[in-house]
Every structure is written in C-alpha cells, then in structure tokens.
Amino acid sequence: AEYDLLVLNGLMVTVDKMGEFDIAVKDGKIAKVVQKGGLDGAQAKKIINAQGGMVMPGGVDAHVHLQEPALFGKGESADSYETGTRSAICGGTTTLITFAPQRKSEPSLLSALAATHHLARDNCYTDYSFHLICSNAGPKAISEFAALREEGISSLKIYMTYEALQLKDSEILDVLFEARKQKIVTMIHAENGAIIDWTIKKLEEKKLFAPKYHVTSHPPVAEIEATYRAISLSGFIDVPILIVHVSSPAAAQHISEAQQKGLPVYAETCPQYLFLTRKDLDKPGFEGAKCVCSPPPREGEQDHEGIWKGLEDGTFTVLSSDHCPFLYEDTNIGKKSVISAEHPNGHFKYIPNGCPGVETRLSLALSANRLKLQKFVEVTSTNAAKLYGLYPRKGALIPGESDADLTIWYPEKNDFQLTNSMLHHNVDYTPYEGKTLNQWPRYTVLRGEVIWARDEGGLIAKKGVGQFLKRDVSTLAGSRSHGEWSVEDF
C-alpha cells in the first residue's frame, strides 16, 4: 500500500490550521495533509473514518512523576513507567516528559539520568523524555549540564521547598547561570519552604492534623513570594524559567507582569487548579488526603476563573497534569501510610503530596468547553513541544516533519460520569470521581500505530512501543536582551 494509515473526513485542529483535512501516514510520520476528499482512492493498510470527529496532535504532558522514591512525604510513586505511560496513552497523551530525580546525597545528575533510563527502557506505551531534578547543585552537578545536553536533556527542575529537594537562593543562581550557558530551561517549584515549615509548626502546636490543614500550611503568600523571587533571580541572570503548577491567580499576576516587561518567564498550570478547591480536602475522616498536592487547590470559583483566564490570555504556556500517583488505601506506601498509633486520623504533614491525572487531563479540559479548540491544542500539546525542544517532531501535524501522533475525538452521544474503574493507572482513586464528562478519545495513535481504540479492544499495543526522545534547545525560550541566549555579561 501507498500509505500505512489514512485518517479521513475529520476536523483537524492544530495551532496553525483548523479545518476539514485528510491525513496520510507513512513510516510513522505525517506524509500528507490535504483538503477533505483529496486522498480519495489512495491505498492504505488502515483507514480511520473520523467523520464528525476531531483530529489533534497527540497530547504532550511535560509534568509527570513515575517510579520516584519518597521525596514529597512518605510514599513512593504508585505508577511505574509501564502503568503511567499506559494510563497516558488511554487518555490521548502520546509524549511524556517525566522526572529523573537526583538525591541530595548523590552529587551526579548523569547517574540519576542513567538510573531513570533503566526504569523506562522497553517499558513505555508513549514516547518519553526526562527533566533532571537537581537537588544537589554542587560543582559536580553543575559541571554536567553540558553533558546532559549531549544526552538530549534540555530542561531541569529545581525546588524552593521540601527538605529533601530545596535549594538555597545562591544555589538557584548557580543553576540558572550554567543553565543560560547550556541553553537549558529551568522549571521552578515556587513555594517558600520557610513559610510552610513555620505554619506547620503552628498547626501542630494546636494539634490540628486533619488533611484539610495541608491547605492552611501552604498559604497563597508562600507561592506568591517564591514566584516573585524566582522571577527576580532569573531576571538577574537573564535566563528563561518556567514556574510549574501555578495555583494562585495572584502568583499568575506576577508572572503576567514579568512577561509584559519582556522577561522570558513561562508558566504551567494543572487541572487540579481548575477543578478542585480546598473543600475537596475537607471531607470526613481521611478522605481529603486524596486531593493533597502542593501547591494545594485554592478557595473556590474565583481562583478557577483566574487560572482559566491565564490559559486563555497566554500567561500559562502549558496545561500539564503533575500526575504524582500515590495509592490511597495502602498503609505501607500509600496516602494512608501516615496513619499511626500517635496519629490515628493521620497527620497532614506526612501525606505524600500529589494527585493522579495523566489520563484525565485532556478529557477534563476539553469537556469543560472553556478554551477555543486551537488554544486547547496549544496548551496541552504544541507549547510543551516547543518549550522543551521537541517541536515540530511533536505537537504538530506537519508533513515530512511531525511524527504521526494523533488523538481522535468523536462527539459523545451522552454525558458520562468518570469513575476510577475506567482508568488505566495503578492508583486506587481519582480526585475527579463522579465528575460529568462529555469527551474521551476514541483513538490514540503513536507514530502511525493505533495504541488505544476505545471501542475496538481498548489498549491494543504492547509496552515498549514508546521511545526515548532526545530533545534539542527550546524553540520558545531564549534570553531577553539578545532575543537569543547569551553569556557575555558575567
């Protein structure tokens, strides 16, 4: 046959183009995109009739934690590379950028990278890359940035909180300075660790231990202050940063102001800040622990509105999941691991921080019907590919350039209720149990191969189809003064 796959009659939605186009796939790549009807008579091994449906570039989720040790509380990640990428592909996401965590006791980033490669290799259902988490910013780690670039890694994550991960401001400057030289994008977890630790002590003195006090212990000011500080430090060095998982509209306001000044400050938000509130942590018993993440969900609708607005107006570059999976029931490694004789109802301080969401990210956002379709594609796929050096191989449907990664949606006849039993992660709950949705991908295609066919067997590929992606320099971010990266000032 002339082609491996034809996707006909659908509404194609990319950032650059929206309309009725037919798509031809050959050798895992987009071969042709032509006006509907233009591929009549073409021969192909497989044809998908997308009449009435929408065809988008596969989702790119650039914030996913898989198979990490206990770093944010007690538990270890419940999802392996196998189960986490499986969950992603069943929800329409074809590329993940997960984290390769360096421990503070380990001076080398390259060894953290090697260890994470070992976990992922031959186990994935999606294509994948890694951000290095730099928690020991000593000379050894800094000296390895250039080698990371050779290995196809063009981004790092650093933390301003969590004892096991937090960097001092001087260490942040060390990282940012070398990141500029090596054209690396630095992701920053912006919460003030001291404010959080101080507030935790105050709550403990009053014997307030319930899950809902996690929200009290992570006040907006901790996020706002750290966001402003991160912007200031990166502005001083003149290097691009991305503030991860922004939950507070007031923090987003600082980001927007920096962007208006022309600073290369990018930002990410996540579904938990669009759909959850502090009330979700204020439930009888220990139930609220299911929605413990940092930063926490905020007060209510006004905050959600502010975050949606930031997505619409470009303050947020990406909508990622921050999938950080922990079992609920497991008393060894799950959220309930914090229940003890001393704290029979648990203690919020020890609850592992993070919610699952790699499979629900796209459906939640699309079902909300809030973003224009091209904006939806931009923040859930294209921008992540651009920001992290994967574009136009990922995040686009450009003939001869892009991988044939497709998510195909059909209008659902009926709304349906999300339940955890529909999902493919290794977590025993979803924070969105019972939520009404009206969208779920019918097909997910990875490099021309149908991996998820909702009504024809579900997951129909084997693990190991996903490949490691060597990434290049960001095509979105550069330094301010020169419109490109520069190191001449220090």
Q: Which residues bind ligand URP (CB under 6 A)?
A: 65, 72, 189, 245, 293-294, 322, 324, 353-354
185 contacts which partner out of Zn ion, ligand URP, none, CB within 5 to 8 A by kind? none
Nearest-angstrom CA–CA distance, 183 and 98: 19
Listed residue (116, 241, 117) closest to 175, CA to CA: 241
**Looking at beta carbons only, is 32 or 435 nearer to Zn ion?**
435
What does each C-alpha distance from 78 to 67, 150, 189, 270, 356 come to in angstroms?
Answer: 7, 31, 22, 20, 9
Least distance in angstroms from the C-beta of 339 to ligand URP: 19
Handedness of CA 434, 435, 441, 442 (dihedral sign): positive
**Looking at beta carbons only, is 86 or 304 nearer to Zn ion?**
304
**Looking at beta carbons only, is 203 or 246 nearer to Zn ion?**
246
Least distance in angstroms from the C-beta of 415 to ligand URP: 29
Count of residues near Zn ion by CB under 5 A: 3
Listed residue (111, 192, 185, 105) closest to 144, CA to CA: 111
Residue 236 per-residue DSSP state: H
Q: Where are the alpha helices (DSSP H) in 151-219?
A: 169-182, 193-205, 213-217
**Looking at beta carbons only, is 223 or 322 nearer to Zn ion?**
322
What does each C-alpha distance from 22 to 5, 54, 378, 440 come to in angstroms?
Answer: 11, 11, 21, 21
304 contacts which partner out of Zn ion, ligand URP, none, CB within 5 to 8 A by kind? Zn ion
10 contacts which partner out of Zn ion, ligand URP, none, CB within 5 to 8 A by kind? none
Window of 136-144, 259-267, 320-328, 474-482 that interacts with Zn ion by CB under 5 A: 320-328
What does each C-alpha distance from 405 to 25, 128, 447, 482 come to in angstroms?
Answer: 10, 13, 5, 35
Least distance in angstroms from the C-beta of 322 to Zn ion: 4
Nearest-angstrom CA–CA distance, 257 and 263: 9
**Looking at beta carbons only, is 25 or 200 nearer to Zn ion?**
200
Window of 85-93, 220-228, 302-310, 445-453 that interacts with Zn ion by CB under 5 A: 302-310
**Looking at beta carbons only, is 183 or 189 nearer to ligand URP?**
189
Residue in 180, 278, 304, 425 binding Zn ion, rule: CB under 5 A = 304
Residue in 68, 174, 322, 359 binding Zn ion, rule: CB under 5 A = 322
Q: What is the CA radius of gyration of the chain?
A: 22
CA count, 13 A, side-chain hemisphere, 44: 24
**Looking at beta carbons only, is 213 or 440 nearer to ligand URP?**
213
Q: Where are the alpha helices (DSSP H) in 261-313?
A: 272-275, 301-312
Q: Are strands 127-133 and 458-459 parallel, antiparallel or unpaired?
A: unpaired
Residue 364 per-residue DSSP state: H
Least distance in angstroms from the C-beta of 219 to ligand URP: 15
Least distance in angstroms from the C-beta of 53 to ligand URP: 33
86 contacts which partner out of Zn ion, ligand URP, none, CB within 5 to 8 A by kind? none
State the helix-helix crossing angle for 220-237 and 249-260, rounded to 10 degrees: 20
Nearest-angstrom CA–CA distance, 466 and 279: 38
Least distance in angstroms from the C-beta of 72 to ligand URP: 5
**Looking at beta carbons only, is 53 or 296 nearer to ligand URP?**
296
Window of 1-9, 189-197, 376-384, 443-451 that interacts with Zn ion by CB under 5 A: 189-197
Asked if 278 interacts with Zn ion (CB under 5 A), we say: no
Nearest-angstrom CA–CA distance, 356 and 364: 13
Cβ burial, residue 35 (10 Å; 0-12/13-18/19+): exposed
Least distance in angstroms from the C-beta of 101 to Zn ion: 11
Binders of Zn ion among residues 56 to 85 (CB under 5 A) are none
Window of 84-92, 111-119, 299-307, 459-467 that interacts with Zn ion by CB under 5 A: 299-307
Structure tokens at 417: 């209720």
**Looking at beta carbons only, is 180 or 218 nearer to ligand URP?**
218
179 contacts which partner out of Zn ion, ligand URP, none, CB within 5 to 8 A by kind? none
Neighbours of 275 (CB within 10 A): 19
Least distance in angstroms from the C-beta of 149 to ligand URP: 23
Beta carbons within 8 Å of 233's beta carbon, 6+ residues apart: 169, 172, 173, 176
Least distance in angstroms from the C-beta of 301 to Zn ion: 5
421 three-class SS: helix
Buried b (16+ CB within 10 A) or exposed e, 290-307: bbbbbbbbbeeeebbebb
Least distance in angstroms from the C-beta of 47 to Zn ion: 39
**Looking at beta carbons only, is 3 or 348 nearer to ligand URP?**
348
72 contacts which partner out of ligand URP, Zn ion, none, CB within 5 to 8 A by kind? ligand URP
Least distance in angstroms from the C-beta of 490 to ligand URP: 30
Least distance in angstroms from the C-beta of 448 to ligand URP: 33
Structure tokens at 364: 């939640």
Asked if 189 interacts with Zn ion (CB under 5 A), we say: yes
**Looking at beta carbons only, is 354 or 431 nearer to ligand URP?**
354
User: Which residues of this protein are in contact with Zn ion, per CB under 5 A?
Assistant: 189, 304, 322
